[in-house]
Amino acid sequence: MLSDEEIILEYKSTGNKKLLAPLFKKYNDKLFGLAFYYLHERESAMDTVMDVFEAILISIDKKDITYFKGWAMGICRNICLKKIRDLKKFDELTETSDNSVEYGSDRVYNDETIEKLLEYIPELKENQRVCVRDFYLLGKSYDDISRSYGMSLKEVKSYIQNGKRNLKIKFDKSAINDM
């Protein structure tokens, strides 16, 4: 059986991605364990392992790898930390921040967050836009939104989830442009 480094050298000489399969199989469980340690969610950890394999395929030709396991685990750690940072940024959209006030169960967002929401919500698809607006800005429940627009609860949840994801992308792009 070839060592990790021998597999990498053979891959680099042939470009045959199938040669990397034994490495992916060998370290799959370790990468999953590390991702699960950071993210505490099975599905997120599985997605992260796939992201790691994708990152490896993209960068393996450009790197001189002497210790594959350490390199792959480092990529995994970095991807996990990025996901955690992104999640924290996104939570600022949906949770009360230090500059916000709560009245009972109603959330009142700080001015900066509301301005950003008002700027980006109109760019969402129509169903996402009305569901996100009604849920976050008007404080309506899923049931209220469902009845108001004749949608199923499942549709409302899906539109809100997809709208949140699209808003997160817009917030991330905005943050990069503000740098």
Which residues in the chain land under pLDDT 50?
Answer: 96-109, 179
pLDDT for residue 176: 64
CA distance 71 to 129: 42
- Beta carbons of 170 and 95 less than 8 angstroms apart: no
pLDDT tens column, 10-29: 999 998 989 999 999 999 99
Q: How confident is the model at residue 113, as a pLDDT? A: 60
CA distances from 178 to 93, 94, 111, 123, 167 (A): 17, 21, 18, 19, 16
Pairing of strands 106-108, 101-103: antiparallel
pLDDT of residue 98: 41
Structure confidence at residue 153 (pLDDT)? 92
Name the β-bridge partners of 108: 101
The predicted pLDDT at position 66 comes to 85
- Nearest in space to 54 (alpha carbons), one of 83, 20, 85, 11: 20
Q: Give the CATH fold of the 97-178 domain.
A: Arc Repressor Mutant, subunit A (1.10.10)
- Looking at domain 4-92, its CATH class is mainly alpha
Strand runs (DSSP E) across 8-131, as ranges? Answer: 101-103, 106-108
Q: Where are the domains of the chain?
A: 4-92, 97-178
The total number of residues written for the chain in this structure: 179
Q: Tell me, yes or no, if the pTM score tops 0.75.
A: no
